[in-house]
Chains A and B, each alone.
Chain A
Amino acid sequence: MRNGPLLVTFAVGASLVAIFFIPHHKVQEAQSVLLDWANVVYAFALILGSLSLWASHQRKVFARAEGWIYSLVTLLALAFVTVAGTVQGVEEGTLVNKYYNMVNSPLASTMFALLAFFIASAAFRAFRARNAEATLLLGTAIVMMIGRVSIGEYLWHGFPPVTEWLLDVPNLAAKRAIALGIGLGAISTALKIILGIDRSYLGRS
């Protein structure tokens, strides 16, 4: 049952690699079609995820489990936004767009804004110069935090050039090596998938 999907992966993957080298417009159009199909598969995967979310919260509500009233809030919000967005659309001026600006947008922004508090608390508790390497990391972080903002330049005019040097030399070197490593890893993983060596994405047999 797995050989068919493995052949599909190989055929599709090898085709996309080959298409990179063939600039003919008909071939590139074929690539666009395949990518559109992949977007549809992704959209249905999101539907699957939402159905799982619905099922899990519905179980809690029906069982009157602890916190079931919050699950009801989730279900109502999910149902309302999905139905209104599907029927009316999500463009500027629609109900869902107004709801998004009023509810989703501030909630998303504020959830992320909480991180500022937690990063301060975590840094106070856990950021310790326990050895030479940690001291180097700590020192660089403090120089960056002070040097890259206006007050750093105000306190000492040497801060900006020092931070620029840290970014342009040691940071660049390390990030280049990391980027190369990521690139090599991504290529080897992609090759293993296309050639059927890595089959983990198909799940258990």
Chain B
Amino acid sequence: MALDRRIIFVLIFAATALPLLFPVNLPITPSPRVRAAFETVDKQPPGTYVLMSLDYEPDIKAELQPMSIAVLRHCFRKGLKPVVLTLYPAAPGLVERALAIASAAEGKKRNEDFVFLGYKSGSQSVILGLGESIRTMFPTDFWGTPLNKIPMMKGKNSYADFPLVINLSGSAIADYYIRIAATRYQRPMVLGATAVMATDYYPYLSSGQILGLIGGMKGAAEYEKLMDITGDARRGMDAQSLIHVTIAILVLLGNFALFASGGLRPMGSGGSREGTGR
């Protein structure tokens, strides 16, 4: 079935733009894994310190920025004390914006209700270093105030002082936090990941290395639903649905056309690979 790919591109663009222009507001039901993430944060008593690592850049902010805002607002609503950092060089601007939006919405103040440590290069080395001394990794906060001068940071210097770690990440940094913070330092951990990565982390959910998983823009929309807020994730769900339906129909059409023309004959199973015998 010959179809100019530009027609497919137009269909996809229409499937994206039309629901944004004419929203239908299809229902969103939170999945068990997002609900687990929500409940892990929700059951923390007020005053609990939470270490939040927000590790994403503009190319994946579509999925993770709404997630960050929703989770930060949740922490603020519950009276938790997030200490936020980032391991991506281009993230501080995005994280600062997320903190500004969340703190304004919930009436929270910098250095009293949250601390933003800023960016530190090194990924694994920083995550390892947080187990020993936060002040060695981050002598000051993002705005240059020494940590020793921030009352909220008094007595907080390593993973041992944080009953919960939250990592929202679009890369292998999630694996580093699982290996180091969750496994080596035994910190309860909630993970937010891009949809591309999300399916890979189900084994860690089962083993208890992570307690909840927020996957992609859909996961962010579910978290917003649980929080009863409307962010860009919920706004994008109608478009997400229509794009998926469009692609599914295209795939089925392609298979149907090929089958109907006799070009696709069921060949049975493909057979497993032979081993090398070595």
Contact = CB atoms under 8 A, between A and B. Distances in A.
Contacts, number: 163
Contacts of A167: 199, 202
B106 interface: no
A120 B245 contact: no
Interface of A: 25, 28-29, 31-32, 35-36, 38-39, 43, 90-92, 97, 100-101, 104-106, 108-109, 111-112, 116-117, 119-121, 123-125, 127-134, 138, 141-142, 145-146, 148-154, 160, 164, 167-168, 171-172, 175-176, 178-179
A134 B267 CA distance: 11
Given A109-B59, A121-B8, 5 more contacts: A108-B59, A120-B247, A127-B251, A148-B244, A168-B206
Contacts of B199: 167, 171, 175
Nearest to A121: B5
A97 B93 contact: yes
Contact size range, B: 35 or more
Contacts of A119: 247
Contacts of B26: 150-151, 153-154
A131 B132 CA distance: 54
A129 B264 contact: yes
17 contacts: A35-B124, A108-B58, A109-B58, A116-B16, A120-B12, A120-B246, A127-B254, A133-B269, A138-B251, A146-B245, A146-B248, A150-B26, A151-B241, A164-B31, A167-B202, A171-B202, A179-B203
Contacts of A179: 200, 203
Interface of B: 3, 5, 8-9, 11-13, 16, 26-29, 31-32, 57-62, 89-90, 92-93, 96, 121-122, 124-125, 128-129, 131-132, 136, 199-200, 202-203, 205-206, 218, 237-238, 240-248, 250-255, 258, 264, 266-270
| Interface residues of chain B: helix, strand, loop or mixed (majority) | helix
Contacts of B270: 131-134
Nearest to A124: B250
| Interface residues of chain A: helix, strand, loop or mixed (majority) | helix
Nearest to A19: B128
Contact of B206 (A112, A123, A172): A172
A164 B205 CA distance: 13
A36 B125 contact: yes
